[in-house]
Structure 1
Amino acid sequence: MNREELISKWLDNNLNPQELEAFKKLEDNDDLVKLNTSVQAFKAEDFNTSAELENVLSKIKSTKKQTTHWIKPLMRVAAILAVCFGLYYYTTTLDTTITTEFAQKTTIELPDASSVSLNAKSLLAFNKKDWKEEREVELNGEAFFKVAKGSKFHVITKSGTVTVYGTQFNVKQRDNYFEVICYEGLVGVTYNSHETKLNPGDRFLIIDGKLIAKEKENRTTPSWLNNESQFESLPFKEVIAEFERQYNVTFDVTNVDTNQLFTGGFPHDSLDIAIKNITLPLQLTHSKTNNTITLKRE
């Protein structure tokens, strides 16, 4: 056996007695033994793979628990903040909407101290957040406005837009009925892309798509603010519609010409008197069953 093979088997502790004696007789035997002894001093400790794996997994689980311990509260806080932000955004960007029911009226103060009186079965909507940049309300129904001086003030309806500058006016927008009356200041009414300027006492009236000429308004405020409705040469169907809104009743007018013109009015606080006020001038009779009033010719 040559020298290299002998040394290799010695390093592997694989020498038989005869080979060991041969190794001891090598000239550099002492040097090889000293070198091996020195190398053994640097040998790594025995490594238990299974034990170390369990140790690492245990540390990972411990770290995960600690992480979960602070992540869960953080997630709760984040969820609360998200909800709060969502509510803030929703409430600050959402329109403020006011509605009235049958026989109900209300008065609203707008962000600039302008006031709006809302008649029965009406809706008013506006956005507080954008108010300083644009004074604008949406109206479906009837309302009387007292507008504080300032930038342009817009009332948007399905029929047209009313633009004013510090004034008092009434807007009524119902089915096939659009009326604007100026009581103070200057009002601009835009209908079909054409603007009409109204001075105090002027009235703009559209019925069934037709412009109706009217004399100047002599009252200083709308009659409905005083709990009564007044009409001047208006179709009887408009009278009936307003009556239904103020008293929450339904009319049967099968045998009545609702296009005939009516001049007069009725109070909002007495059903019996109100019925007489609208039937006697037209020589109509009436009968009431539950919530339905039937009108007939005498």
Structure 2
Amino acid sequence: MNENRDDTFLARWLNNDLTEEERKEFEASDDYRSYQKIVKASGHIMAEEFDTDSILSRVKSGRQATNATREASHARTVKLWGYGIAATVTLLACFFYFYTRDTLVSTDYGEQMAITLPDGSDMRLNARSEAVYNSQNWQEQRKIELAGEAYFKVASGNTFTVSTSHGEVSVLGTEFNVQSMNGLLTVTCYEGKVKVVTSHSEHILKPGDHFRSLDGSESLSVIKENAPGWASRESRFKSMPVKYVLMALENQFNVDFVYDQLPAEQLYTGSFPHSDVNVALDVVMGALLIEYEIRNDGTVLLKD
């Protein structure tokens, strides 16, 4: 901040007591934009307004003060006291804004995003996914809240927890994939070890181990791949209920499916490319023996 500004400057700004010259100079500075964000983040905290005349009137009535100089001095003390409160509130707002704010990253339909975490680990989000973490307080709060799917490459010796609505995954120097959506949680370990904790169980996964929790029903299996298929623009499935395959198609191509009902027990094992929606639909629907029609409004009608 400008060294020419006194200790009450921010408080006077919050209380709308700057001169016109001070206000114009401040609004043209970089500090102004930063403190606008702080005020917004702290719930529009503003200094409490003090009715100096009313306070002085009460002082006169109760104590019968007669010295005009003393009254003026008291008024300034009251005003500066108000500024002191405002300045304190502003400093607290600064602390909470910069120290506790979260970083949110998300992807849209068909989009992927690579993020480097504060410890140097890599996180890659699949389509229609969201991750939240605290970059300012990472050393004390090493947690990522995930909705959707993400692939992690953790820097050696670093640990953190991936929290989802279906369970938590704790890691130590590893590569793994987490998917959490609509009653489904899958965790695949590619390198190192992964700890998975749900409300029903706890598992330590090693390279090649794949954990799945589907509506509370849990299973473990072995996979033979070095990275998730979606990282190379191909979604892969093994014995996956059809509704989750349709959700994956929706997330990649921004299409809506219309159907009366899906066969509850039908499972899909296979893949589809992310490069062409028509090819993807042909591959999936052909394997499931489902006829479909792309309608004029862009929706995909699944026929009985």
Counterpart pick for 1:116 among 119, 123, 127: 123
Bigger radius of gyration: 1
Q: Aligned letter for 1:165?
A: L
Per the alignment, residue 237 of structure 1 pairs with 243
Matched, 1:178 2:185: yes
Equivalences for 1:1-298 in 2 at 5 Å?
60-65=67-72, 68=75, 72=79, 75-76=82-83, 79-80=86-87, 82-192=89-199, 194-214=201-221, 216-289=222-295, 290-297=297-304
Q: Structure 1 residues 76, 118: closer, same or farther in 2, change over 3 A?
A: same
Change (3 A) 1:192 1:59: closer
Q: Quickly say closer, same or farther: Cα 1:205–1:82, change in 2 above 3 A.
A: same
1:61 corresponds to which letter in structure 2? Answer: A
Amino acid in the other structure paired with 1:273:
V
For the structure 1 residues 233 and 193, does the alpha-carbon distance in structure 2 shift closer, same or farther, using more than 3 Å as the test? closer
The alignment partner of 1:262 has SS state of strand
Structure 2: distance between partners of 1:235 and 1:128: 37
Q: What TM-score comes out, normalization by structure 1 length?
A: 0.72
Contact 1:255 1:296 in 2 (8 A): no
Distance 1:70 1:213 in 2: 71
For 2:209, give the aligned amino acid: D
- Secondary structure of the residue aligned to 2:104 is strand
Unaligned 5+ runs, structure 1: 1-56
SS in 2 for 1:86: helix
SS in 1 for 2:278: helix
Structure 1 position 117, deviation (Å):
0.7
Give the letter aligned to residue 218 of structure 1: K
2:56 aligned partner: none
CA–CA distance in 2 between the matches of 1:105 and 1:60? Answer: 73
What are the superposed Cα offsets for residues 177-235 of structure 1, whole Å, 9 maximum, x if unpaired? 11000011111111235321111111001112212343x22221111111221112211
User: Aligned to 1:163, what secondary structure does the other structure show?
Assistant: strand
Contact residue 119 and residue 142 of structure 1 kept, 8 A: yes
SS at match of 2:291: strand
C-alpha distance in structure 2 between counterparts of 1:265 and 1:193, whole Å? 30
Q: Report the TM-score when normalising by structure 2.
A: 0.71
Tell me, what secondary structure is at the counterpart of 1:277? helix
Structure 2 counterpart of 1:116, which letter? M
Q: After the TM superposition, which of the residue ranges 121-130 and 226-235 deviates more from structure 2?
A: 121-130
CA pair 193-276 structure 1, distance change in 2 beyond 3 A? closer
Whether the aligned pair in 1 keeps the contact of 2:147 and 2:180 (CA below 8 Å) is yes
C-alpha deviation, 1:77, in angstroms: 6.7
Once residues 206 and 220 of structure 2 are traced to their aligned partners in structure 1, the CA distance between those partners, rounded to angstroms, is: 15
Query: Which whole-Å CA distance do the structure 2 matches of 1:270 and 1:74 have between them?
Result: 67
CA contact (8 A) 1:137 1:156 kept: yes
1:69 Cα shift?
Answer: 5.5
- The runs of at least 4 aligned residues of structure 1 exceeding 3 Å deviation read 57-78
- The 3-state SS of whatever aligns with 2:303 is strand
Q: Match for 1:242: what amino acid?
A: A
Show structure 2 runs of 5+ residues with no match. Answer: 1-63
Change (3 A) 1:177 1:70: same
CA displacement 1:243-297 (0-9 Å, x = unmatched): 1111222111315425311122222232211211211112222122324211114
How many residue pairs match? The answer is: 241
Q: Is the 8 A contact 2:99 2:137 kept in 1?
A: no
SS in 1 for 2:94: helix
Distance (whole Å) between structure 1 residues aligned to residue 98 and residue 231 of structure 2: 31
Q: What percent identity do the matched residue pairs reach?
A: 34
